[in-house]
Structure 1
Amino acid sequence: MDYFIITVVTLAGLVFHAWLFVRFRRWADRDLALSLAGNDPKKREWALQRLAAAKGARVKRKDLQIWLEREMGRYDAE
Structure 2
Amino acid sequence: MDYFIVAVTTLAGLYFHWWIYIRIRRWMDRDLALSMAAGDPAMGAYMLECLAAAKAQGIRRRHLEDWLHQAACDYLKHGA
> What TM-score do you get using the length of structure 1 for normalisation?
0.99
**RMSD, matched Cα:** 0.3
* Structure 2 counterpart SS, 1:37: coil
CA distance in structure 2 between the aligned counterparts of 1:43 and 1:32, rounded to whole angstroms? 13
List structure 1 segments (4+ residues) > 3 angstroms apart after TM superposition: none
Q: Percent identity at matched positions?
A: 50
Q: What's the CA shift for 1:23?
A: 0.2
Q: 2: CA distance between counterparts of 1:9 and 1:39?
A: 43
Secondary structure at 2:58's aligned position in 1? coil
CA distance in 1, matches of 2:75, 2:55: 18
Per-residue CA deviation, residues 35-54 of structure 1 (Å, 9 max, x unaligned), is: 01111100000000000000
Gaps of 5+ in 2: none
Match of 1:20 in 2: 20
- 2:34 aligned residue: 34
Which 5+ residue runs of structure 1 have no aligned equivalent? none
